[in-house]
Amino acid sequence: MTYQQVLDWMFAQLPMYQRQGQSAFKKDLANIVALCEELDNPQKKFKTIHVGGTNGKGSTSHMIASILQEAGYKVGLYTSPHLKNFTERIRINGEEMLKESVVTFIEKNKIFLEKQGLSFFEMTVGMAFDEFANQKVDVAVIEVGLGGRLDSTNIIIPEVSVITNIGLDHTQFLGETLPEIAFEKAGIIKENVPVVIGERQKETENVFNTKAEECEAPIFFASDKKQNYTTDLLGEYQKHNVTTAVTTIQQLKEFKVSEENIKNGLLSVVKNTNLKGRWQLLQEHPKVICDTAHNKEGLFYTLQQLKKENYKRLHIVLGVVSDKKLSEILPMFPKNAKYYFCKPNIPRGLPAEELRGQAGVFNLFGEVFSSVNQAFEKSKVNASYEDVIYVGGSTFVVAEIL
């Protein structure tokens, strides 16, 4: 099989949350346990840090990996979803997994994967664990895919568990209230393993304290500490993630990390790990910014920052997926912008015409385009030298213009 054939098989033949939504969500860990046994339990052959939460878990994972790389360790990094290439999900010291290795893994295990009926996400997690074991990483930073308790990554016993924050996202799977969602996320807290909670939130702290007590896990709320570090990631919202990443590093007993490593790691996240799509500046005149924030909490910080930009006119290229609660996010967007409504090119993208209809209710007006790229190109044609173009609403919208 070629690499493209392997990807087509993985994407098309198996349920995958990014494309299908709810039907791809598995309710137990039996499949990933079976796969890892088949692979000789690779997840037990290296140390891990487990990072969950609603917003910031990707950026926090990249920061932690970058700091550990600066300290001289061989660091695996597993994140999802990818923006451009599937191999972005599995990296070692910032280098993406080789396409040949993806092909080899699928060819070698295809009969088992088919027989067991593994989801796209389950097989990808197994692939990451296998790759990290084969490449003998010192430590791997593993980002939770969805939720925590029932997420395929939740078969590791990490050095530290991390939960960045809790927001109302994926409510159709995780619960309608913050405490219900926190309960699912708290499922990654393990016996006697320290847990770092990024932000103390009154609605959820009791859930975490109770679970940590049950597990006799030392618990630390990162937002209680003042950290004076800066990062090369531009979004102002990254200050929360910096505090969480540094607090996590401070709980690692078996890794030697200096103050210098922390500073340099935070200032070299993009160089060390190739993170993209977080308040990323694509050009200066007109200024083009893209950001993957896609839920109420994430967009709150991003749109606050957008307000601080200086421009003659604001252009917003906007697309979303169909399971977003638009009545929660659309009122947050600025009314003084010209909108370019589009649909991300995945089955669960919301039709642009529908998005325009809903946006009109909140006095957000603009044109409809048949693709993200068409919308983006038109915004660049319309924008003058002193304008700002913001591209966002969904990870998948950002992916199409990078």
* Residues constituting the chain: 402
Give the pLDDT score at 147: 84
Give the pLDDT score at 27: 65
Q: Name the residue among 353, 326, 351, 356 with its Cα closest to residue 339.
A: 356
| Per-residue pLDDT tens digits for 126-135 | 999 999 999 9
| Per-residue pLDDT tens digits for 305-351 | 999 999 999 999 999 999 888 999 999 999 999 999 999 998 889 99
Average pLDDT estimate for 144-162: 94
User: Is it the case that residue 174 has pLDDT exceeding 80?
Assistant: no
Give the pLDDT score at 25: 52
Contact 70, 245 (CB under 8 A): no
Tokens 């993406």 sit on residue:
96
Regarding pTM above 0.95, the answer is: no
How many of the other CB atoms lie within 10 Å of CB of 353? Answer: 10
Give the pLDDT score at 285: 95
Give the pLDDT score at 117: 87
Label residue 24 by pLDDT band (50, 70, 90).
Answer: very low
User: Is it the case that residue 240 has pLDDT exceeding 90?
Assistant: yes
Give the pLDDT score at 62: 98
Tokens of 56: 């910031």
Label residue 162 by pLDDT band (50, 70, 90).
Answer: very high
Average pLDDT estimate for 376-383: 98
**Alpha-carbon span 33 to 38, nearest angstrom:** 9
Instruction: Spell 278-315 as b/e; 16+ CB within 10 A means b.
Output: bbbeeeeebbbbbbbbbbbbbbbbbbebbeeeebeebb
**Alpha-carbon span 346 to 374, nearest angstrom:** 16
226: left (phi over 0), alpha (psi -120 to 50) or beta: beta
Task: Find the DSSP H helices in 117-258.
Answer: 120-134, 171-174, 178-185, 205-214, 238-250
